[in-house]
Amino acid sequence: MSTFYLIRHATNDFVGKSIVGWTPGVSLNAEGREQAGRLAWKLLGRGITQIYSSPLERALETAGPIAEALGLQVQVRDALGEVRFGDWSGKRLDELERDPRWRLYQEYRSGTRAPAGESMLESQVRIVNELEWLRARHPAETLAVVSHADIIRAALVYYAGIPIDLHQRLEISPASFSILTLNDRGPQIRRLNDTAE
């Protein structure tokens, strides 16, 4: 059995305000750095043997304190990166609310895609394939996987057998972790959206 701590990056100045996607240079703010430090201490003693991270700065800055606390190296994997939001990257949420394509995307993720970006189903396939690859590479280990809210939701709804259109019913807070185990008998979600507060 492989155990995954699916960790959303800590907060930054754009959380809840804009879609940053793969925009470079989005770093944690002061609150986010504090969250990452608290999270690192909360994960001590949990048997984590590997740390994998999205290549985006906010994820790497969250993974760094965890790696330091556990004495591990962060391994970067593009497949753990954010949804590719294409033309919506950099847009404010209040601006997107006026775009009927955004409203449709929010309601019908299984059948729509971000303009010049990827569909949620493509994102889901990407993260599930990555987790299955990590499971095969690290059988019977406990891994920390630092990623992004929608990517974590996509994985969890897949393993829970929930339609992707209902993924936003899962709250995935900044600097939270959810615990997923994978074995030959199937998946089990053992914890959801645990914060380090």
Which two tokens mark 148?
A: 């992004």
Q: Is the pLDDT of residue 49 over 90?
A: yes
Which two tokens mark 35?
A: 């969250």
Which range marks the domain in which residue 141 is found?
2-195
Pairing type for strands 176-183 and 186-195 reads antiparallel
Query: Rounded mean pLDDT of 40-62?
Result: 97
Provide the domain count of the chain: 1
Burial of 97 (0-12, 13-18, 19+ CB in 10 A): exposed
pLDDT band at 196 (very low <50, low <70, confident <90, very high): low
Q: Is the pLDDT of residue 190 over 90?
A: yes
What's the rounded Cα separation, in Å, for the pair 56 and 53?
A: 8
* pLDDT tens-digit readout, 120-137: 999 999 999 999 999 999
- Three-class DSSP category at 59: helix
